[in-house]
Amino acid sequence: MAKFAFLGLGVMGYPMAGHLAKHGLSAGHDICVWNRTAAKSAAWTEEYTGRAAPDIAVAVKQADFVMMCVGNDDDVYAVAEQAIIAMQPGSVLVDHTTASAKCARHCFELAKQAGIGFIDAPISGGEAGAVGGALTIMCGGDIADYSRAEPVMQSYAKAVQHMGPSGAGQLTKMVNQICIAGTLQGLSEAVHFAKKAGLDVDAVAQAIGQGAAQSWQMDNRALSMGRGEFEFGFAVDWMRKDLKIALEAAAETGANLAMTQMVDNYYEDIQKMGGHRWDTSSLIKRLEK
């Protein structure tokens, strides 16, 4: 009987661990959770079947699979290093944090030295995807470790794919965020133009959403953008963190991300407007000042 641990019960991790407890291979089995704020772990155990650990070492020491979802590179380094020291050889650590490829490769090597598998497995789909168990997960690492961990990740995902060696998952997530940034800027200008031209934004979205302009962002954000609603979704602060990672990787590889840099600058404008926690679709606010 496999045993599981989940480290980090934030906006994404809390429901992901819940799906693992209810529907995954751990259903009815053993799952232990840990969070920096103990009250969050206590709340999780009241809602789901599982145990809360007082520290990382206790959470992971008997686990066959350890999943983690924390904040940034520094958090990954700190949590992963503590976990790897306490994990049993032959177990697998899966990191769902959006972090740098450099961070992923460091953790991979550290885990390998300890006889532990490491998969960088950033997620896409936002809070709604985590709550609905419909995330997209892009993975880097050894294929053997991925094959073992893939059925576990299916507990909270609609799509899981191995992208290549260590770091490939994080690089793929950067591609994802680059696409989203450009799409949202284009959609912002489109909605702004429609309003200035006196068109009904809802009707426009319905009409062009059936053709080549269709996208997830149009389907899920055009109407709320037209109404000026941004107090939900994926926060601007989080997007800027992700774009910073992509831009730094571009500088290392020689990739030209002119549009991404431009949109990142626009998000800085949104932050100056007080929109740190606004949804990323708030780019339109710049155009309506």
Residues serving a catalytic function are 173
Cα distance between residue 6 and residue 155, in whole Å: 13
Strands 135-140 and 123-124: antiparallel
Taking alpha carbons only, the member of 235, 232, 19 closest to residue 6 is 19
CA 142 to CA 237: how far, in whole Å? 32
Residues 170 and 122: their CA atoms lie apart, in Å, by: 6
Sign of the dihedral defined by the CA atoms of residues 89, 114, 165, 160, in that order: positive
Answer yes or no: are the C-beta atoms of 236 and 267 closer than 8 Å: yes
- Give the pair of three-digit tokens for residue 228: 């000026």
